[in-house]
Amino acid sequence: MTIFSKIIAGEIPSYKVAEDDLFYAFLDINPVAKGHTLVVPKQEVDYIFDQSDAMLSAHTVFAKRVASAIKKAIPCNRVGVAVMGLEVPHAHIHLIPLNSEGDMDFRKEHLKLSPEEMQEIAASIAANFE
């Protein structure tokens, strides 16, 4: 079971942003920007492109809805999209509010946000999710 499956099952806490039958979105615990969100399929699959065409499409469309909520909740120029999967073997789309190119640099020092701040960010994105 991956760490993300444990999060989806509620065995590990997360700052949930959105959920439906197939997907779960939550704040990245080590964000590169305020509102950095991960969108994962509930079904465990390692590599994003190993998903069926239908699942990949649905994953992307769900991420689009989450990105729209992020854009409303967090002032930014764009919501950046990244897929790496080098750390956790459970397909996930990173959604990151961007104002400049450097905002998406995963090598820079990540933000340290308090649990209260994380909770507030998650709640404001969730409130804008349609």
Residue numbers annotated as active site: 92
Q: Residue 122 carries which DSSP code? A: H
Candidate residues 9, 22, 30, 61; the one interacting with ligand 5GP per rule CB under 6 A: 30
Q: Do residues 81 and 70 touch, judged by C-beta distance below 8 A?
A: no
CB of 36 to ligand 5GP, least distance (A): 7
- Residues 32 to 61: which contact ligand 5GP by CB under 6 A? 38
- Please report which helix (H) or strand (E) contains residue 64, including its range: helix 53-73
Query: CB under 6 A: which stretch of 21-29, 55-63, 69-77, 114-122 binds ligand 5GP?
Result: 21-29
Sequence-separated contacts (24+) of 24-27 with Cβ below 8 Å: 25/62, 25/63, 25/66, 25/95, 26/122, 27/118, 27/121, 27/122
CB of 47 to ligand 5GP, least distance (A): 11
- Residues 51 to 110: which contact ligand 5GP by CB under 6 A? 84-88, 92
Strands 23-27 and 16-19, sheet pairing = antiparallel
Helix (DSSP H) and strand (DSSP E) numbers for the chain? 3, 5
Candidate residues 2, 5, 29, 124; the one interacting with ligand 5GP per rule CB under 6 A: 29
CB of 41 to ligand 5GP, least distance (A): 14
Give residues in contact with ligand 5GP (CB under 6 A): 3, 12, 14, 26-30, 38, 84-88, 92
